[in-house]
Structure 1
Amino acid sequence: MPLRPQNPASPVRVRFQVDWPTVRKLATRAALVTVAAPVVVAAGVMALERFRRHQYPLDAPFPTAPPASTRVQDTTATVYTYGADLYEAMLEAIEGARHQVFLETYIWKNDDVGEQFKAALREAADRGVEVYVVYDGFANLVIPRSFYDMPPGVHMLRFPAFRPGLLMLDVRHSGRNHRKILVVDDEIAFVGGYNIGTLYATRWRDTHLRIAGPSVWELRNAFVDFWNRWRTPDLPVLQDVGSNLWLPQLRAARNAPSELVFPIRGIYLDAIDRACSHIYITQAYFIPDADIHTALLEAAARGVDVRVLMPERSNHVVADWLARGLYSTLLRGGVRIFLYQGAMIHAKTATVDGIWTTVGTANIDRLSLTGNYEINLEVVDDGLAAELESAFRMDESNSRELTLDEWERRHPLSKIAERIMAPLRPLL
C-alpha cells in the first residue's frame, strides 16, 4: 500500500492556558483604580479649596436691587434678590398670620436669623395660628436637634436624615427635600433658592419669589401633598381644599422622586426648544445632562443668544470642577458663560425670549432634576420676565465672560483633573 504523503506545512496546535486568578486580580485592581481615581482627585481639589478659601473668602460686596413687583392676572409677583429684604417680608407675613403658616426649608441655621424665624413661629402658635414646619434632617445634621424643639402648637416634620435607598442609589428612597416654601393664610406665599440663615441674608446672592393672590394655591397644594405623604402618625392630616382657578400662565412644577415624577426637567427642555431670541440662565451648580446640554447647543446653533451665569467659585468645589468639564463644548457651540465674581450666587432662575420664566429650588444638575424633592414656579408673563432679565443684567455687571480662547489655554493639569473627575458627574 502506498504511504500517504506528509504535509510539512500543517499547523502545529498550541494550547494556551488562561491564568484566571491573575485575570480576575488585574480586573479587580483596574476597577478599583477606575473608582478610586475620581474620588482621590476630588478629595485633593476639596483640600486645596479649603486652603484657598482662607486666603480668598467669598465675601466680596455685590450689586443688589430692591424688591420689584408685577401682576400676573389676579396674582402679584414680587422678586427678591437680597436676603435681608426677603427675610423681612417673610417674618412680616408670619407675624401677621391669622389662621395657618406652612414653612418648608432645606437648611435652617441656629443663628440670629434662624432664631428670628423660630421666635416668629412660636409667637404665631401662641396666638392660635396653626403652624406646620418641614425641614431636611440631612441638611441640618450639624445643627443640634434641640434647636428644633417647639411647643405643641408647632407641628414639626423632620424629613429623615438617612434613607434606605442611599447606598443603592435608589432615587425613590434616597432623594433629599431641597424645597423652600412659605405659605401664610392661603393669601401670601414664597418660593426660591434662599435657605434660612444669617450667611444668606447679606453674603449670598439668591432669588426668591413672593406671590399674593389666588395662585398661592399652587404652593399651598405642594406643601399639603408633601406633608400628607411624609407625616408620621403623631402628626395631623392636612386638608386639600382644591381650587377653581385654572391659570396656565403660573404653575408649580414639583419633582417627586418617590413617584419618579420629574417635571422641572421637562419645563426646561420645552422652554429651551421653543426659544427664538434669547435664553438667560442663572445657576448655582450647572451640570446639565445630555439632553439639556444638546438643547442649549441646538438653540445657539439656530441663532439664539444663550447665556449661562454661575459662580466662578461656589461653596461646592467638586460641582464647580464637574461643570468645567462641559465648558469646552458649550463655548465651541456658541453658548456664552458668565462667571460671578467674589461671592456665591445661589439663584435658580431662567428666562426665555422675554416671556417665559422659572424661579425655584432646582439646580440644573442630576441631584435636582432627577433626584431631590424640588419645586419651581413656571410663569409665562412678559412683566415678570422683564424683572428677572433686569436681575440677570445686574448679575452680569458683577461677572466676567469666559472666552473659548482663555478656556483652551488653561493649565494641562486642570484638563487632566476634569477628565478624571468626569465619572462623578451622574452623582451630582
Structure 2
Amino acid sequence: MGRRRSSGGDRLDSLRAVLRRVVLTLVGVPFVVAIAMSLVDSYRRRGKRTPEFPTRRPHTVEVGDGAITTYTFGRDLYEDMLEAIAGARRQVLFETYIWKGDATGERFKAALVAAADRGVEVFVIYDAFANLVVSPAFKHFPSSVKVVRYPIYSAGWRFFDLRRYGRDHRKILVVDDEVGFVGGYNIGSAYETEWRDTHVRITGPAVWDLKRAFADFWNLHRRRRLRGTERPLLLETASTWEPRVRVQRNVPRLWMFPIRAMYIEAINRASRNIWMTQAYFLPDEDFIEAVKNAARRGVDVRLLLPLKSNHIVADWVSRGYFSQLLDAGVRILRYRDAMVHAKTATVDGTWSTVGTANIDRLSLQGNYEINVEVIDEDFARELEAIFEVDQAHCLELTSGEWEARDLHRKFTELVLAPLRPLL
C-alpha cells in the first residue's frame, strides 16, 4: 500500500511539475519576447528625427457660453499655455504625466516658478513613475510652488487594493478660473515638434469642471506628499452648468470609470459615422463588439492609428484585433512618419471627445484619466476637418494586405496575445 501511494504521489508531483512548466512558459515567453522587442526597437530609434507632418492651425469655435480651441502641433499649444501662465494673477493649477527635464520642460518650470514669485498660487502634480529617468535636480521646486508627486507605489500596506495602482495619466492646466487646457500632450521638446497630438483650450463654465477635477485629485493625494502644509485646495464652486461640455474623469481610487461607458454609449448610438484617432488600441471585447456592430449596421467607422507607435509591443498586440475589425467593415488608417498620440473621436457630426484616455485597459479601467465630451456640431466639424488632414497622411490597411502578411508576423501576434488583459 505504501508503495502504491508513493507511486501515485510521484505521478502527481510529476504532473504538477509539468503544469508549472507549461504555465511559466505560457506566461513567461510573451514577457521575454515583449522585452526583447522593446529593447531592439529602442536601439533602432536612437538619433532618428521625425519628418515634417501636416497639421492644422489652432482653430476656435464658440460652444455655449464659452469657446474651445483645438491644437494639433505642440509648439502652438505650448506658446499659448506659457502665455496663460505668464498672465496669471491669482492661481495656476498644472498637472502632467510626463515632464521632461529638457529645454521645453525648463521653460514650463521657469514660468511656474516666476508666477509663484510674483504672488500667484501655483499647484503642481506630476507622476513619479513616468518621470523616473528625469534628473532629481529638475524635480526640485522652491517652497513657493506647492507640489504633489504622485508616487511610484501608492498602495502602502494595502497591496491587495486594486484601486490604488492607477497612474496619473492626466494633462491639465487651469489659470485664474478663466482658461483651461486638456488633452494628450505631455511636456517635452520631442512632443513640441515631433509628435502629432491633440489638445484643447477651454473658456467658459467648463473651466470649473477642470478645476474641480484637479482639486479633487489634489485633496485625495496631498497627505504625506505635500511639503509644509496639509491645507486642502478649496473651491468656490460656480453654479453655472454648461450642458454642451462635460468633463468625464476616471478615478480608480473611487472605482469610477465613466470614460469607457461614454465611448460605448456614443458608438452604440451612431447612425452615420464614427471617426476615432487613438495612439494605442487595445480594447476589451465589449468595446470591440460595439465598434464591429456599428460597422455592420452601415456606420462609416474609421480607426486612425500610428503605423509605428513609441510602444512596439502595443502595436503588435493591437494587430490581433485587425482581422475581425476589417471583416466587419471598419477602415483602419495608419499614420506614417510620426507618432500620432491623440485620443479623439467624433460621431454623427454632433458628439466629440478629446482627452488623455487611450482605448486600452490601463486607461479605461485603471488610470486617472480625463476627457472632455462635447455635444456641438461646429466642434464636431472641426474635429472632422482635423481627421481628414491626418487621413491624407495615412496608409489604409486592406483585408487583402492584412491576410497576406508573413507567417512570422502571425506567429508573433499569437505569442503576444496573452498580454492583452495587461495593457
Aligning the two structures, in what range does the TM-score lie when normalised by the shorter sequence? over 0.9
Change (3 A) 1:249 1:399: same
Shift of 1:236: 2.5
Where does residue 7 of structure 1 map in the other structure? none
TM-score by length of 2: 0.95
Shift of 1:53: 2.5
Where does residue 374 of structure 1 map in the other structure? 369
Shift of 1:312: 0.7
**1:362-409 deviation line (CA, Å, top 9, x unaligned):** 000000000100000000001111111111001001111000100011
Where does residue 390 of structure 1 map in the other structure? 385
Shift of 1:416: 1.0
Quick one: which amino acid aligns to residue 22 of structure 1?
Answer: S
Which of 3, 14, 33 is equivalent to 1:22? Answer: 14
Q: 1:329 aligned to 2:324?
A: yes
Where does residue 164 of structure 2 map in the other structure? 173
CA contact (8 A) 2:303 2:330 kept: yes
Aligned partner of residue 282 in structure 2, secondary structure:
coil
Q: 1:362 aligned to 2:357?
A: yes
Where does residue 78 of structure 2 map in the other structure? 87
Cα distance in structure 2, aligned partners of 1:90 and 1:47 = 34
Shift of 1:46: 1.9
Shift of 1:171: 3.2
Quick one: which amino acid aligns to residue 423 of structure 1?
Answer: P
Where does residue 44 of structure 1 map in the other structure? 36
Which of 245, 252, 275 is equivalent to 2:247? Answer: 252
Quick one: which amino acid aligns to residue 420 of structure 1?
Answer: V
Aligned partner of residue 334 in structure 2, secondary structure:
strand
Where does residue 142 of structure 2 map in the other structure? 151
Where does residue 107 of structure 1 map in the other structure? 98
TM-score by length of 1: 0.93
Aligned partner of residue 243 in structure 1, secondary structure:
coil
CA contact (8 A) 2:65 2:242 kept: no
Shift of 1:36: 1.0
Cα distance in structure 2, aligned partners of 1:247 and 1:50 = 44
Aligned partner of residue 145 in structure 1, secondary structure:
coil
Shift of 1:351: 0.3
Which of 281, 287, 305 is equivalent to 1:310? Answer: 305
CA contact (8 A) 2:259 2:371 kept: yes
Cα distance in structure 1, aligned partners of 2:385 and 2:377 = 12
Change (3 A) 1:369 1:54: same
Aligned partner of residue 326 in structure 1, secondary structure:
helix
Cα distance in structure 2, aligned partners of 1:43 and 1:196 = 26
Cα distance in structure 1, aligned partners of 2:158 and 2:325 = 33
Aligned counterparts, 1:186-197, within 5 A: 186-197=177-188
Which of 103, 112, 115 is equivalent to 1:121? Answer: 112
CA contact (8 A) 1:257 1:370 kept: yes
**1:133-154 deviation line (CA, Å, top 9, x unaligned):** 0000000011122212222221
Change (3 A) 1:83 1:176: same
Cα distance in structure 1, aligned partners of 2:165 and 2:68 = 33
Aligned partner of residue 287 in structure 2, secondary structure:
helix
Cα distance in structure 2, aligned partners of 1:125 and 1:167 = 36
Q: 1:70 aligned to 2:64?
A: no
Cα distance in structure 2, aligned partners of 1:331 and 1:268 = 20
**1:256-286 deviation line (CA, Å, top 9, x unaligned):** 1111110000100000000000000000011
Aligned partner of residue 88 in structure 1, secondary structure:
helix
Q: 1:33 aligned to 2:25?
A: yes
Change (3 A) 1:216 1:195: same
Quick one: which amino acid aligns to residue 234 of structure 2?
Answer: Q
Change (3 A) 1:380 1:164: same
Q: 1:238 aligned to 2:233?
A: yes
Quick one: which amino acid aligns to residue 40 of structure 1?
Answer: V
Change (3 A) 1:59 1:133: same
Aligned partner of residue 401 in structure 1, secondary structure:
strand
Shift of 1:314: 0.5
Aligned partner of residue 169 in structure 2, secondary structure:
coil
CA contact (8 A) 1:165 1:171 kept: no
Aligned counterparts, 1:192-203, within 5 A: 192-203=183-194
Quick one: which amino acid aligns to residue 369 of structure 1?
Answer: L
Cα distance in structure 1, aligned partners of 2:154 and 2:115 = 32
Cα distance in structure 2, aligned partners of 1:166 and 1:197 = 34
CA contact (8 A) 1:354 1:382 kept: yes
Where does residue 216 of structure 2 map in the other structure? 225
Aligned counterparts, 1:203-222, within 5 A: 203-222=194-213
Which of 405, 410, 414 is equivalent to 2:405? Answer: 410
CA contact (8 A) 2:277 2:344 kept: yes
Quick one: which amino acid aligns to residue 21 of structure 1?
Answer: D
Quick one: which amino acid aligns to residue 401 of structure 2?
Answer: E
Cα distance in structure 2, aligned partners of 1:96 and 1:76 = 19
Quick one: which amino acid aligns to residue 201 of structure 1?
Answer: E
Aligned partner of residue 147 in structure 1, secondary structure:
coil
Cα distance in structure 2, aligned partners of 1:302 and 1:166 = 50
Q: 1:60 aligned to 2:60?
A: no
Where does residue 176 of structure 2 map in the other structure? 185
Cα distance in structure 1, aligned partners of 2:405 and 2:122 = 53
Where does residue 154 of structure 2 map in the other structure? 163
Higher CA-based Rg: 1
* Structure 2 unmatched ranges of 5 or more: none
Shift of 1:213: 1.6
**1:165-207 deviation line (CA, Å, top 9, x unaligned):** 8996853111000000000000000000000111100000000
Change (3 A) 1:100 1:59: same
Quick one: which amino acid aligns to residue 37 of structure 2?
Answer: V
Shift of 1:24: 1.0
CA RMSD, Structure 1 to Structure 2 (Å): 1.8
Aligned partner of residue 354 in structure 1, secondary structure:
coil
Once the two structures are aligned, what percentage of the paired residues are identical? 54
Quick one: which amino acid aligns to residue 149 of structure 2?
Answer: R
Change (3 A) 1:41 1:105: same
Aligned partner of residue 345 in structure 2, secondary structure:
strand
Aligned partner of residue 83 in structure 2, secondary structure:
helix
